[in-house]
């Protein structure tokens, strides 16, 4: 895989992780870099000499692309969500709906046994619970007078979940009330908050990667069954209403999302 393609895939991951409801882990699976990403993060923690430099370069390229995606597209995403929320939501619904059968096929996931169906159902319930919590129990601006400690803890939790396919790290920030704080820090370049966010992301991602690697290697089918359930459960969180006047455009953006997934899968 060329270095430039890795950077572009990193950009896609960065964009995905700043959109509430869209999972960066899901995008990583679609782009075919999820397993490599988890293995690279885990190998850095264990300091395996043979793999350390390769993993470091891999993460450096993907991480650079991710930073470009976050900083370059945060303004565009914020503007699009503010002015064309319905169209954007149908685009991402198309992305997620089409990615589920693709992931099941490409990863040879077989949700046929009782245990896998049960785990998939648990993932669905958890994902749906996050969506219900977003709409009924929490507010995006819940935390108005936040402390640096709370910002750090909330970003650690979000970062740990952002590499799990099906869970949106940005959605977790919305639930914890610090999403607007993080986006403002990125847009306005608040360096003190950005330093806290950067450290929290490192702690969250590296802390969760080893557990994920263990689950995927030891319990692959069960883990991926849980992921599929999460993706299905969080899907309603992307829906933001339907207008008859936008019927054609909603359909076009939905089709565009489907086309994007299958185009991206060709690069994996």
Tens-place pLDDT, residues 38-64: 888 877 776 666 777 888 888 899 989
Say yes or no to pLDDT of 141 above 70.
Answer: no
Tens-place pLDDT, residues 249-267: 999 999 988 887 777 666 5
Q: What integer is the mean pLDDT of 68-73?
A: 84
**How many domains are there within the chain?**
1
DSSP 196: H
Region of poorest pLDDT, from 148-157, 172-181, 201-210: 172-181
Looking at every residue in the chain, the average pLDDT score rounds to 80
pLDDT score at 136: 61
Q: Return the percentage of the chain with pLDDT > 70, whole number.
A: 88
pLDDT score at 118: 96
Region of poorest pLDDT, from 105-119, 130-144, 153-167: 130-144
E strand segments, the chain: none
CA 50, distance to chain mean position in Å, is: 29
Q: How far is it, in rounded angstroms, from Cα 191 to Cα 184? A: 11
Q: How far is it, in rounded angstroms, from Cα 180 to Cα 196? A: 15
Q: How far is it, in rounded angstroms, from Cα 230 to Cα 234? A: 6
Nearest to 70 by CA among 18, 10, 5, 6: 18
Say yes or no to pLDDT of 82 above 80.
Answer: no
Q: What integer is the mean pLDDT of 3-15?
A: 87
Say yes or no to pLDDT of 139 above 60.
Answer: no
Say yes or no to pLDDT of 140 above 50.
Answer: no
Tens-place pLDDT, residues 182-199: 888 888 888 888 899 999
* pLDDT tier at 175, thresholds 50, 70, 90: low
Say yes or no to pLDDT of 20 above 90.
Answer: no
pLDDT score at 125: 92
> What pTM value is reported for the model?
0.68
DSSP 138: -
* pLDDT tier at 144, thresholds 50, 70, 90: very low
Q: How far is it, in rounded angstroms, from Cα 7 to Cα 103? A: 22
Tens-place pLDDT, residues 227-248: 888 878 878 877 878 888 888 9
243 burial via Cβ count (<10 Å: 0-12, 13-18, 19+):
exposed
Q: Please provide the DSSP assignment of 101-165 as one string.
A: HHHHHHTT----SHHHHHHHHHHHHHHHHHHHHHHHT--TT--SS--HHHHHHHHHHHHHHHTST
pLDDT score at 115: 93
Domain span at 57: 3-265
10 Cβ contact list (under 8 Å, min separation 6): 61, 62, 63, 64, 65, 66, 68, 69
Instruction: Evaluate whether 143 touches 193 at the Cβ level (below 8 Å).
Output: no
């Amino acid at each position: 895989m060329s270095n430039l393609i890795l950077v572009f895939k990193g950009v896609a991951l960065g964009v995905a992780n700043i959109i509430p409801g869209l999972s960066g882990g899901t995008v990583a699976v679609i782009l075919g870099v999820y397993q490599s990403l988890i293995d690279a993060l885990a190998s850095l923690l264990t300091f395996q000499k043979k793999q350390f430099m390769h993993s470091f370069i891999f993460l450096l390229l993907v991480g650079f692309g991710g930073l470009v995606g976050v900083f370059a597209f945060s303004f565009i995403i914020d503007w699009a969500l503010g002015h064309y929320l319905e169209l954007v939501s149908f685009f991402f619904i198309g992305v997620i709906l089409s990615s589920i059968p693709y992931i099941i096929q490409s990863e040879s996931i077989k949700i046929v046994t009782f245990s896998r169906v049960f785990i998939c159902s648990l993932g669905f319930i958890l994902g749906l619970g996050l969506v219900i919590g977003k709409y009924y129990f929490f507010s995006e601006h819940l935390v108005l007078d936040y402390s640096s400690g709370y910002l750090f803890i909330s970003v650690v939790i979000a970062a740990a979940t952002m590499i799990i396919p099906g869970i949106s790290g940005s959605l977790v920030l919305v639930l914890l009330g610090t999403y607007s704080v993080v986006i403002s820090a990125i847009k306005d370049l608040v360096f003190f908050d950005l330093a806290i966010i950067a450290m929290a992301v490192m702690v969250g991602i590296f802390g969760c990667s080893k557990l994920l690697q263990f689950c995927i290697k030891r319990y692959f089918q069960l883990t991926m069954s849980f992921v599929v359930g999460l993706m299905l459960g969080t899907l309603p969180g992307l829906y933001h209403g339907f207008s008859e006047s936008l019927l054609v455009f909603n359909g076009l953006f939905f089709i565009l999302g489907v086309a994007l997934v299958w185009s991206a899968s060709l690069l994996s």
